[in-house]
Amino acid sequence: MDFNSYIRDIKDFPKEGIVFKDITPLLKDPSALNKAVNALYELVGNQKINKVVGMESRGFFFAPILATKLNAGFVPVRKSGKLPYRTISEVYTLEYGEDILEVHEDAIAPGERVLIHDDVLATGGTAQAVCKLVEKMGGEIVQFNFLIELDFLNGKDQIRGYEVKSLLHY
């Protein structure tokens, strides 16, 4: 299926000079959404996964569904101050600023096999921060999984040495 027709470019969002990849046309079409979930699932292959980590906020769309299909737990990674229990944190940069990501300190047990999912791989700052959080807890990162990869931003450079798979490349 050609998922490109379901991705809309929004210029100058969230700030001037950024072209935001809007996935809401994909999310609102039941057939396209189902096919995207299945395609993301197929990127994992038959690897054993214990936890699927999804990043706030658009990573939350697909990560819990992938966790269910993989018979794995879902771990939300959120911005600072949004999780109710004790957390560990990591500062990260993205193409338009800097922020802090947090995860519950008991979300991943040492040795658990982890799939990290997000909607877009851009500069790689968010993915790198999540990688550090998972590894602080002793998790083994099996793969990074993205709906969209913005190749021209070279985000893969920030997570070199890990398996990275994406459905769409721009």
CA dihedral 149, 145, 30, 73 (to 10 degrees): -150
To the query of whether residue 113 is one of the catalytic residues in this protein, the response is no
Which residues on adjacent β-strands are paired with residue 114?
51, 141
Q: Are the beta carbons of 41 and 71 closer than 8 angstroms? A: no
Find the catalytic residue in 16, 42, 56, 58.
58
Find the catalytic residue in 56, 95, 105, 163.
95
- CA–CA separation, 59 vs 126, rounded Å? 11
Per residue in 113-131, is it b (16+ CB within 10 Å) or e — as a string?
Answer: bbbbbbbbbbbbbbbbbbb
- CA–CA separation, 74 vs 67, rounded Å? 6
To the query of whether residue 58 is one of the catalytic residues in this protein, the response is yes
CA distances from 161 to 66, 105, 133, 164 (A): 23, 25, 16, 9
Which residues on adjacent β-strands are paired with residue 74?
52
Catalytic residues: 58, 95
